């Protein structure tokens, strides 16, 4: 069997302590400390290159910390299979010859173990996951035939098939039209009832404020981590976004210059 | 009617044609299945480089064995696995770009191979067999080696199908599912290496990449499921092998080139057909 770690239920689902990640001579993340409660929904906000993707990769255990540590239910992420990482859509080869159901089934690879082919139970799991995200009618479609919102739902279904308890979603709303964005956000609301903990990287301050329990404001350092109304004030935002933030005259409204870049790569400036 | 039957049956009255056709079909199937991953992972250049890199290994075997063909398979297999894992390691920890590093090594090794073989002037014709294949000279013993090692490659792909597919589609998913990513990558490189060794006599090192890439790419254009792509690629590759050998027989053209040209023809038809629909 592939490795599976035990969960200590008295420990937080995610505990990040003094996490620093450097690569190619750049500091991507420095001295990040926070922890999440079970079932919480957290928006991760920050400018392009702030280290959002790096944070997710370090939390998922696919990028080693330079110093500090990440713990999932009390142990290192490297042996946990309960972390679902949902990539940016621009990072995916949409012409890969697989159907929607095939991709969702990939989420079960770990539970299946080596040399096993999917059983009926696994296909039922896939079917159920597709029903939860409301695209079971698209199961046999090739993945390039999906709309942006459907592509995102497919990846959420894959994380459900993986039985992920912590979902890390890298800019799932970028490039989607408003109804699709609302659809995904409503879906996240329903996942809360299934006690799935969700971290979502986003650029949209308003959605972050209205749909998430807490906001983690990031710019290599942890600028703030608290309830939306406590995080989203000018001083914090200026700290995170610097000159890229423009107060709209007189009002307490802010706009961010660099939203909605497809295919953000984390690199320190 | 008899003339048509004769057209197909007459070449089969030669044992070298029978062995050649069996070899071409077996090699076609193995190359097509492994080639599906080569195409999807964008490893065409790696496959081409790997095939060229084994030439010095074959040359050494050739010099040591005094020209015996059957032992060359083992030299090819050994060099191929070493080269595949070596290139894999270099591309991970290199200061220069991966494709540049591969290019330097592959050209250097290829030159070394040619240099070694050229020391035996009278055997210059054998060099062309290594480069372009000579499927009509496959011995029964070589046929068994192709069958056994080709079978091992196919069984391994079958056994790790879901792991290879997950890893190829989304390496980060594979890592978060805690699949042994490094091990699987090296296993896939080893399978490609074994495929190169198995195919050596059929198409030779210079045309190898065509067998790895062309039938798989043709199938890629025509289907949306990986399993179907592998099966369809195997059909195209086998057909190319058989048709190519008949062309070689009747038109007296080099067998490896005839097989590759047929595969290329299939690709062009599929490409044009895809364009018009």
SS3 of B116-155? HHHCCHHHHHHHHHHHHCCHHHCCHHHHHHHHHHHHHHHH
Spans of all domains in chain B: 25-208
* pLDDT tens by residue, A91-118: 999 999 999 999 999 999 888 888 888 9
Q: pTM here? A: 0.89
* ipTM of predicted assembly, 2 dp: 0.88
**Residues A256, A258, A259, A260: what is their CA dihedral angle, to the nearest 10 degrees?**
170
Distance, in Å, from the CA atom of B24 to the CA atom of B243, rounded to the nearest integer, reads 10
Residues in A closer than 8 angstroms to B172, CB to CB, are 57, 60, 62, 85, 87
Segment (H or E) for A161 = helix A148-161
Residue A195, φ and ψ in degrees, nearest 5: 65, 30
Confidence of residue A251 (pLDDT cuts 50, 70, 90): very low
CB contacts, 8 Å: B176 with chain A = 60-62, 81, 83-85
Contact predicate A109/B171, CB 8 Å = no
User: Nearest residue of A to residue B219 by CA position?
Assistant: A97
- Residue of B159, B177, B225 with shortest CB distance to A115: B159
Residues in chain B predicted with pLDDT less than 70, given as ranges, are 1, 67, 91, 93-94, 121-124
Q: A85 to chain B: which residues are within 8 Å by CB?
A: 172-173, 176
- Subunit contact B173:A142, Cβ cutoff 8 A: no
Distance, CA of A78 to CA of A69 (rounded, Å): 12
Q: What separation in angstroms does the CA of B141 have from each of A112, B30, B148?
A: 40, 18, 11
Of A3, A92, A118, the CB nearest to B178: A3
3-state SS class at B84 = helix
- Which one of B94, B157, B176 would you mutate to disrupt binding with A, by most A Cβ within 10 Å of its Cβ? B176
Reported as a single tens digit per residue, the pLDDT across B131-164 is 888 888 888 999 999 999 999 999 999 999 999 9
Q: How confident is the model at residue A149 (pLDDT cuts 50, 70, 90)?
A: very high
Domains and CATH numbers, chain A: 1-82+165-269 (3.40.50.300), 94-163 (no CATH)
Q: Do A110 and B177 touch (CB under 8 A)?
A: yes
pLDDT of residue B4: 83
Specify the DSSP element, H or E, that contains B82.
helix B72-92
Domain spanning B25-208, CATH class? mainly alpha
Q: Which of B37, B5, B11 is nearest to B230 (CA)?
A: B37
Question: Within chain A, how many helices (H) and strands (E) appear?
Answer: 9, 11
Q: Which residue has the tokens 């914090």?
A: A236
At A263, the pLDDT band (50, 70, 90 cuts) reads very low
């Amino acid at each position: 069997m592939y490795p599976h770690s035990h969960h200590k239920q008295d420990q937080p689902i995610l505990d990040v302590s003094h996490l620093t990640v450097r690569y190619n001579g750049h500091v991507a993340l420095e001295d990040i400390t926070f922890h999440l409660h079970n079932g919480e929904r957290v928006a991760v906000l920050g400018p392009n290159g702030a280290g959002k993707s790096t944070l997710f990769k370090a939390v998922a255990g696919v990028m080693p910390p330079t110093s500090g540590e990440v713990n999932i239910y009390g142990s290192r992420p490297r042996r946990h299979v309960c972390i679902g990482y949902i990539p940016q859509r621009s990072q995916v080869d949409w012409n890969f010859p697989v159907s929607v159901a095939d991709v969702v089934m990939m989420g079960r690879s770990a539970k299946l173990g080596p040399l096993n082919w999917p059983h009926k139970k696994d296909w039922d799991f896939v079917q159920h996951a597709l029903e939860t995200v409301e695209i079971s009618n698209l199961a046999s479609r090739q993945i390039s035939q999906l709309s942006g919102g459907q592509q995102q739902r497919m990846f959420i279904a894959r994380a459900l098939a993986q039985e992920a308890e912590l979902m890390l979603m890298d800019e799932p709303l970028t490039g989607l039209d408003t109804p699709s964005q609302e659809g995904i956000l409503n879906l996240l609301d329903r996942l809360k009832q299934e006690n799935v903990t969700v971290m979502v990287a986003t650029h949209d301050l308003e959605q972050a404020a209205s749909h998430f329990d807490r906001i983690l404001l990031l710019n290599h350092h942890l600028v703030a981590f608290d309830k939306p109304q406590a995080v989203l004030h000018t001083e914090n935002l200026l700290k995170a976004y610097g000159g890229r933030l423009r107060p709209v005259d007189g009002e307490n409204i802010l706009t961010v210059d660099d939203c909605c870049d497809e295919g953000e790569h984390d690199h320190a400036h | 009617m008899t003339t048509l039957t004769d057209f197909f049956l007459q070449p089969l009255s030669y044992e070298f044609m029978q062995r050649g056709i069996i070899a071409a079909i077996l090699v076609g199937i193995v190359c097509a299945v492994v080639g599906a991953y080569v195409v999807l992972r964008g490893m065409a250049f790696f496959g081409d480089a790997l095939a060229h890199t084994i030439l010095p290994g074959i040359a050494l075997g050739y010099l040591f064995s005094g020209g015996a063909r059957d032992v060359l398979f083992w030299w090819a297999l050994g060099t191929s696995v070493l080269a595949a894992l070596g290139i894999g390691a270099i591309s991970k920890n290199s200061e220069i770009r991966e494709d540049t590093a591969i290019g330097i090594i592959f050209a250097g090794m290829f030159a070394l191979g040619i240099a070694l073989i050229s020391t035996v002037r009278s055997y210059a014709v054998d060099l062309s067999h290594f480069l372009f294949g000579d499927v009509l000279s496959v011995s029964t013993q070589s046929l068994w080696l192709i069958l056994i090692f080709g079978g091992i490659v196919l069984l391994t792909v079958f056994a790790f199908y879901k792991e290879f597919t997950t890893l190829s589609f989304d390496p980060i998913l594979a890592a978060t599912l805690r699949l042994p990513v490094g091990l699987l990558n090296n296993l896939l490189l080893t399978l490609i290496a074994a495929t190169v060794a198995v195919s050596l006599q059929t198409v030779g090192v210079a045309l190898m990449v065509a067998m790895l890439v062309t039938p798989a790419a043709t199938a890629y254009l025509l289907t949306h499921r990986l399993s179907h792509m592998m099966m369809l690629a195997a059909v195209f590759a086998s057909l190319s092998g058989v048709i190519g050998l008949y062309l070689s027989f009747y038109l007296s053209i080099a067998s490896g080139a005839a097989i590759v040209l047929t595969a290329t023809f299939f690709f062009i038809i599929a490409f044009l057909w895809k364009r018009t629909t």
